[in-house]
Structures are given as structure tokens and as C-alpha cells.
Amino acid sequence: MNRSTSLRVRLPVFVLVLEVVIIALYAAFVTYDDNANAKFQTNETNPMENSVYRDYPYFADVQVMIFIGFGCLLAFFRFYGFSGMVFNFLTATFSIQWAIVIQGFFQFNYGGKIHLGVINLLYAEFACAVVTYLFWSRAWEDESRSAPGHGFAGDPYLFCDRVGWVTFVLYRPSLNKGHAKEITSYSSDILSVMGTLFLWVFWPSFNSALTIKGDDQHRAILHTFIGLSSSTITAFALSAVFNKRGKLTMADVQNVTLAGGVTVGASVDMMISPVAAYALGVMGCTACFFGYKYLTPFMAQHLRIQDQCGIHNLHGLTGLISSIAGICAIILATEETYGPSMYQIFSHRAPPEGDPKLLELQKLIPGLKPGLGRTGQEQALYQVAAIFSTIAAASVGGLLTGFVMKLSFMASPSDEDCFDDELFFDMPDDFNSVEFKMPMKHEDKEQMSSENTKV
């Protein structure tokens, strides 16, 4: 037992500090959103029009994805099921708490107070997908109002690539040959597929949670479903065709099937047409599959990046495809396709204050705010800039996070203890007998098997 992995002092101290800080910040700065404040309810207020009814269903679905979907999916290692599921639970809870304050400071801050509603929780959940996200938060602030999808669905995926940079710093040469415990079991694989299914089922809610309400959200749901569907059957086909014996590989079923949900991200609420969503699903899945097959081993050997969960493939590569698709969709957007609501979806393309066209449009869309009068090409250039700044922020943030995680006071396990629940949990008695079954010699199995079939 490596003393340095004990959570006895570090975890409680960390939690205590966090709780004191959060209580202080909450007490000083956090109040209710107007929709959650009894004081602002009058006889004009229709309770059923409270924002909670627009936001909570999507919040609940994303909760299922983060806590149950990812929890199960990450429990795919045979001896690392507790850790995968439980540390996902802990990390998600931590980062949502933190994100509420940071996000609140940047986005829901007026009159010197952070205003808390279910919408903040929803934003915090998106932030939760990336553990620290200060840089992103700022980049997001500037651009989020200018392009749909962007900042909501496309970029988080691309930003997830920062986790790849974390793995760069955490590189362990000895793990490169593979680790004896880096294996799955029959039941852990099934649990992991359940996680995939939860993610698959609720991904449309994730991609559409922060779009404009109405037809935009409707399209986001359609595109995500179509992209996931085409991605799924492509993943099965690729899995079979690149397997020597024509069998399916569970890792493909668990991960590559989901790629389509990412690729449609950046253009999810635009008028890209159903066939484009279908094609994006196929492309994203293909890129993700070959990423797993060739890029992950290449990076592990030559670029010292160990990426057990395939973040680069599921989020990096597909996020890039998604962003390029988003740029194309922005360039191709015309008033002919979108009608006047184009200036609502791409708010920076709306005519500026004083432009007579603005008044004309405001007759058609009463709440339309003046924009910057950008053309489609200009808007696309800003989008390109946003992609590069996201990649840069992800890299810097990822490297920093990696170095922090390498600091000696973090409970970092020795190489041989990696992928082992025993390091962090009191284990039930049968854990050792489960372990026992693993390294059975092949001849023994054959013999047993032949003996058994005689019975």
C-alpha cells in the first residue's frame, strides 16, 4: 500500500477549503434569479411560464448523461469499476459547484450579485464537462452571442481536447506496453454499454439544451438523432470490417457509436438539412474509428500521450469536423433559407442600430436586437478565430492541469497500482476472487472447457 495515495488528509482538506470558500461566496454574492424569487411574482405572472419549465427537463436529461451515462461508461475497466463510477460522481459534483460560481460571475452577474436559477445549473453542467474552464468561459462570453451552436455544443467538444494535453504531462513510459489490469470483464463491458445507451438516448437533449427555443431546438434534436443513427450503424460496419475474424469490438460499440452526436454539434440548430446531419454522422464516426485505430497508438508511442478514454478521437477529431461544418453552415446561411429569424440565430449579422433594415426586421421579429451587420463570410472568419483560440486555451489549460496533477501532494498512484480500485476503496471480499480468474493459462481454460462439455 503506497502511503502517498491515502485520501485521509488531502481529500477532506480540499473539501473543507472548497466548502468554506463556496459558503463565503454564496453568502456574499449569490441570490435568486428573478424566476426563482417570490418577491417578483405578481398578478401578472403566469406560474406555468416560469423559466423552470423550459430549462428543467433538459437539465434533468443532462444530469442523467453526466452522472449515470458517463458513470457507467467509465466503469469499463475490470478492476476499476468503483473508481470509474464514483470518481465521475465526485468530480462532476465538484466541478458543477465551482462552475456555478465562476459561470455566475461572468454571465449572471448584475447589481453586484450572481442570480441563480436552473439555467445556471444547466450552464454549469456544460462547464462540468471540462474540469477547469476559466479561459474558455471568457472566450465563450465574447462569441456566444454571435453564432448559434458555437459555444453551446461545438466548442465544448473541441475544448474537451484539452484533456488530451493533461495526458501529455501525465505520461508514464512504463504504461506504454499496456498494463495487466488495463482490461475489461464481461460485466464491466455490459455496464459500459448501458452508459453508452444512456448517453445515446439523451444526447439530443444535451445538444439542444442551450439553443434558442422553438424551431431551433426542434432542429437540434432532429440533427442529433439523425447524426447518432448514421454514426451508430457506421460504427458497427467499421468494427466488423477491420476485425480479423469479422467480429464486433465492444470498445467500438461503447465509444465510436457516439461520434455523430459530436460532429453535428457546431451546426446543430442551423438549417443544414437532414441529409447533412446524416453525412456528418457518417464522417464523424469514420474519423473517430480511425483515430482509435491509428492515432491513439501513434500518440502513445511517439507523442507521449496516453489517452485511455479516447478523448482525442471522440472529441478532438470530431470536434474539428463539427467546427468546419459549422463554418460552412455559417457561410451558406441566407435569409432565403432562414427567413428573417436568421438575424436572431446569427445575432451579429443583424443590422446595426440606426439601420432602416433593422426597424423593418423588428416588425417581423419584435424582440430583435441590433447587431454588427456582419456578412456570412465575416461571421465565418470570427468562427475560425474562435476555433483557434479554443484550441490554444485548451492546450494551455490542459498543460497547467497536468502539472498541478503531477504535484507531489496529489494522491498519484504508482505505475503498478494504476487501474486498481483497491487503492482508493475498501473492497468487498469477492474482489480478490474476481482477480484470481484473470490470469488463467490458456491451456487450462481449454482443458476445463473440454471437461465441462463432457459433463
Cell triple for 95: 466541478
Candidate segments 116-124, 324-332, 347-355, 383-391, binder of a copy of itself by CB under 8 A: 116-124
Which residue, 238 or 391, is less far from a copy of itself as judged by CB?
238
User: Which residue in 102, 153, 158, 191 binds a copy of itself (CB under 8 A)?
Assistant: 191
DSSP SS3 for 10: helix
Which residue, 194 or 372, is less far from a copy of itself as judged by CB?
194
Sequence length of the chain is: 455
Give the footprint of a copy of itself on residues 57-86 (CB under 8 A).
Answer: 57, 60-61, 63-64, 67-68, 71-72, 75, 78, 81-82, 85-86
User: Which residue in 356, 441, 443, 450 binds a copy of itself (CB under 8 A)?
Assistant: 441
| Surface-to-core class of residue 413, CB atoms within 10 Å of its CB (0-12 exposed, 13-18 middle, 19+ buried) | middle
What is the nearest approach in angstroms of a copy of itself to the Cβ of residue 241? 4
Candidate segments 20-28, 132-140, 293-301, 315-323, binder of a copy of itself by CB under 8 A: 20-28
Cell triple for 328: 460552412
Q: Is 443 in the site for a copy of itself (CB under 8 A)?
A: no
Candidate segments 130-138, 201-209, 288-296, 351-359, binder of a copy of itself by CB under 8 A: 201-209
What is the nearest approach in angstroms of a copy of itself to the Cβ of residue 432? 5
Q: Which residues contact 177 (CB under 8 A, 6 or more apart)?
A: none
Cell triple for 63: 444530469
Q: Is 331 in the site for a copy of itself (CB under 8 A)?
A: no
Give the footprint of a copy of itself on residues 123-182 (CB under 8 A).
Answer: none
Q: Is 290 in the site for a copy of itself (CB under 8 A)?
A: no
Distance between CA atoms of 157 and 160, rounded to whole angstroms? 5
Candidate segments 150-158, 323-331, 364-372, 393-401, binder of a copy of itself by CB under 8 A: 364-372
What is the nearest approach in angstroms of a copy of itself to the Cβ of residue 135? 24
Q: Is 412 in the site for a copy of itself (CB under 8 A)?
A: no
Helix axes of 81-107 and 118-128: crossing angle, nearest 10 degrees? 130
Q: Is 52 in the site for a copy of itself (CB under 8 A)?
A: yes
Q: Which residues contact 418 (CB under 8 A, 6 or more apart)?
A: 172, 175, 179, 181, 182
| Surface-to-core class of residue 147, CB atoms within 10 Å of its CB (0-12 exposed, 13-18 middle, 19+ buried) | buried
Q: Name the phi and psi angles at 41, rounded to 5.
A: -90, 125
What DSSP state is assigned to residue 79? T
